[in-house]
Every structure is written in structure tokens, then in C-alpha cells.
């Protein structure tokens, strides 16, 4: 190589350096499946294979403009299947040792109660950081009482946290049909209640955390808190694989993961169906507390520290990273984290299959809470 030559000089004629780098996932091979993707953790692929979830899911059975009653029936069936699937991922695991749980009722403004589950270390001594946990399911499906989320909260509690899982109203499923902002209202109410009762709960600083739809609700709760003037009471937010874009029909180029990882555990038509059920009229398409990726500089300026954790082979990866960049561009202390080799939410939902990966995420949440 002669003096002054560069790597570009070694590139074959007619090719740029980028031409020599394979494009990942379905960007490089449009028919690639997660089963074939060399980035995917083989343990995860093997665990998904018996359910054929290492292959693209079947198309949704109804168009987005189908009657709402029919969409709700589809979502109810989807919820049942997902609860069984996620329960199978924790089946056979020994209960997490050293954790005590109790069920509490949080008054809902206007009447009624929000059920919440409190998990704490049995031998806790003194005040501990608190985590308000908001479960996944696209704000439409699943429940905090499910076995996978009970196990997740136990793991967080065993690390030295007091964790409060909120049974918020969903857009569909066994707890009824409550479109936006019903579930978010419950998350906001529960977060304020935990802050108001921190002393009796044995909690010091409080963070909000959740994955997927719970990641949306985590970010939306913090945005609402700023709007309502109490965000300074929240120490931080830890959102995992947040479901925050709102429109998956025509993803913009900067959200390349929606093409790159399409059909990897999730599909765009599945996400679009959940979005329609959550916001049936679409009147909140540009509302940041419905779809946080629609937030602007004024919405996020002055927010508490955030961690945005995403999964490498997840269609939602790049919307989480886009929100991270919005925070950083507006002076918010924010850290990004990519869980390599994993599909959507696998570090939360697959503790038996990926124990080391799950443990790393638990440690990171605990470390974040301790650092504030």
C-alpha cells in the first residue's frame, strides 16, 4: 500500500465500501426468516421453533377497517394465545427466592379501583428504590397477573427493588375494552399514588419501567407528568422495546428495522391492528401521550433520566432508538442499550431460555435505579 493510500483505494472498481457490507435481515435477503438470520441467538430460535414463531406469523385475519367488535374478538384470541406462550417460557422455573408479594387496591378517580401487585425483598432493610412496572401487550392485551410478568417482577424485587405491577385497563381482552387514554390514565393514577405513599411502601426514589406497550405507557406517563407539572417527582424512566410509532403501514426510511426484521416474532399488520384497537378513530395519531415518537422538543425538554433498551432483531428497534435521539438532542440524560441477538422483549419474557441475558437486563434496571 503506497503512502497516502486509504481503505477506499483498496475497494474493487465500481464498488463503494458500503457495497461490501451485507445488509442485515430482510434488507439484504427479502425472504429471510428469524430462523435463518445469523444474528438471532440460537437458544431463542430453538425455544420459538416448536410454536413456529421462528417463522413469520400468519397474516391478521381481518382488515383494519373491520367492525370493532370483530377486531376485539381477534384480540381476545390473540391474548389467550400469548398468555399461554409466555406462561410456557417460565413453566418449570423455580420460584424466585426471597421475595414477598401482596395485592393492593389503588382508588381510581371517579370510582372504582386499580389492582396492583407489590413485590419486595423479604429481608429488605431500610428504604429501597421503587419501580412502577407497566406490562407489555400493545396497550391492548395481557395482564400484570400473568405468570411471565409475576416472574419478572419477582426477579427485579430479588435484586433489591420494590416493584409495583399495575393492572391497568387494556384496549381489549379479558379486562374489557378501554381505548386510549383509559389505560394511560390508570398508569398515571398508580404512579402518583405510589409517589404519595412511598413512605409506607418503604420506597425512596421511584422510576417507571415497562416493555413493548408498557414501554409506550412508561414514556407516556412521564410525558403526562411533565404536562401536569409533577415530573420532578419521577426519578427516571426505563423503557424496553417501546411500541411508540403509531403507523406501521408505511414506515419511514429512518425506521429501517420495520423492514429489516418484519415478521420476526411481530409483524406490521399485527402492530397496526393493536394500534387501531387502542385508538379506534385515529384522532390521537399525533398525540405524544398516545404515540410518544410524535413528541417534539418542547414535550421532552426537562424530563428525568431515561434508558431506552431495544432488541437487535425486533421490528420496533429503530423507533426506540429514534426516541433516544430525540431525548439526547434536547438535553435529556439518556442511555441507549441494544440487546444483541434477541427478538422483541426476549430478555424479559424468556428467562429460562436466556437466563444470562435476562439477568443482565435486571442488573441494568437495578443499576439505573441505584444511580439516580
Asked whether residue 51 is assigned to any structural domain, the reply reads no
Query: Residue 20: what pLDDT?
Result: 63
Note down pLDDT in tens along the chain; length 372 residues: 334 443 334 444 554 555 567 899 999 999 999 999 999 999 999 999 999 999 999 999 999 999 999 999 999 999 999 999 999 999 999 999 999 999 999 999 999 999 999 999 999 889 999 999 999 999 999 999 999 999 999 999 999 999 999 999 999 999 899 999 999 999 999 999 999 999 999 999 999 999 999 999 999 999 999 999 999 999 999 999 999 999 887 788 899 999 999 999 999 999 999 999 999 999 999 999 999 999 999 999 999 999 999 999 999 999 999 999 999 999 999 999 999 999 999 999 999 999 999 999 999 999 999 999
CA–CA distance, 217 with 219 (Å, rounded to integer): 5
CA distance 237 to 268: 26
Which of 194, 247, 191, 198 is closest to 219 using CA atoms? Answer: 191
Q: How far apart are CA 245 and CA 316, in angstroms?
A: 8
Interaxial angle between packed helices 355-371 and 147-158, expressed in degrees from 0 to 180 and rounded to the nearest 10: 50
Predicted confidence at residue 21, as pLDDT, reads 72
| 191 neighbors 215 (Cβ within 8 angstroms) | no
- Residue 48 in any domain: the answer is no
Contact of 39 with 312, CB cutoff 8 Å = yes
- Whether residue 232 is contained in a domain is answered as yes
Does residue 278 sit within a domain? yes
CATH of the domain at 272: 3.40.50.1820
Number of domain units in the chain:
1
H-only helix segments in 229-354? 257-260, 268-278, 297-300, 317-329, 346-349
This prediction's pTM: 0.94
Domain contains 22:
no
CA 78 to CA 147: how far, in whole Å? 17
**Residue at 18 is within a domain:** no
330 lies in which domain range? 73-371
- Is residue 198 included in any domain, yes or no? yes
Amino acid at each position: 500500500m503506497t503512502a497516502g493510500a486509504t481503505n477506499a483505494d483498496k475497494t474493487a472498481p465500481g464498488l463503494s465500501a458500503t457495497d461490501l457490507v451485507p445488509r442485515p435481515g430482510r434488507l439484504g435477503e427479502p425472504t429471510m426468516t428469524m430462523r435463518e438470520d445469523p444474528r438471532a441467538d440460537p437458544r431463542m430460535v430453538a425455544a420459538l421453533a416448536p410454536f413456529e414463531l421462528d417463522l413469520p406469523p400468519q397474516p391478521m385475519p381481518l382488515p383494519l377497517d373491520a367492525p370493532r367488535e370483530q377486531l376485539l374478538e381477534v384480540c381476545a384470541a390473540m391474548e389467550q394465545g400469548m398468555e399461554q406462550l409466555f406462561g410456557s417460557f417460565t413453566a418449570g422455573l423455580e420460584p424466585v427466592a426471597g421475595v414477598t408479594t401482596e395485592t393492593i387496591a389503588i382508588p381510581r378517580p371517579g370510582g372504582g379501583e386499580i389492582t396492583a401487585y407489590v413485590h419486595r425483598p423479604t429481608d429488605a432493610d431500610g428504604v429501597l428504590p421503587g419501580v412502577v412496572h407497566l406490562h407489555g401487550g400493545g396497550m391492548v392485551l395481557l395482564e400484570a397477573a400473568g405468570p411471565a410478568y409475576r416472574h419478572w417482577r419477582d426477579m427485579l424485587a430479588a435484586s433489591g427493588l420494590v416493584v409495583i405491577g399495575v393492572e391497568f385497563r387494556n384496549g381489549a381482552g379479558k379486562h374489557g375494552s378501554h381505548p386510549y387514554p383509559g389505560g394511560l390514565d390508570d398508569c398515571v393514577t398508580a404512579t402518583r399514588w405510589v409517589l404519595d405513599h412511598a413512605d409506607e411502601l418503604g420506597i425512596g426514589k421511584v422510576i417507571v419501567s415497562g416493555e413493548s406497550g408498557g414501554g409506550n405507557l412508561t414514556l407516556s406517563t412521564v410525558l403526562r407528568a411533565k404536562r401536569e407539572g409533577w415530573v420532578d417527582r419521577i426519578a427516571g424512566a426505563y423503557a424496553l422495546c417501546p411500541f411508540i410509532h403509531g403507523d406501521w403501514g408505511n414506515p419511514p426510511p429512518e425506521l429501517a428495522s420495520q423492514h429489516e426484521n418484519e415478521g420476526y416474532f411481530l409483524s406490521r399488520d399485527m402492530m397496526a391492528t393493536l394500534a387501531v384497537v387502542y385508538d379506534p378513530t385515529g384522532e390521537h395519531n399525533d398525540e405524544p401521550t398516545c404515540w410518544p415518537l410524535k413528541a417534539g422538543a418542547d414535550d421532552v425538554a426537562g424530563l428525568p433520566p431515561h434508558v431506552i433498551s431495544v432488541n437487535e432483531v425486533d421490528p420496533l428497534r429503530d423507533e426506540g432508538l429514534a426516541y433516544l435521539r430525540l431525548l439526547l438532542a434536547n438535553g435529556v440524560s439518556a442511555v441507549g442499550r441494544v440487546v444483541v441477538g434477541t427478538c422483541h422483549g426476549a430478555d424479559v419474557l424468556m428467562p429460562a431460555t436466556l437466563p444470562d441475558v435476562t439477568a443482565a437486563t435486571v442488573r441494568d434496571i437495578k443499576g439505573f435505579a441505584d444511580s439516580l
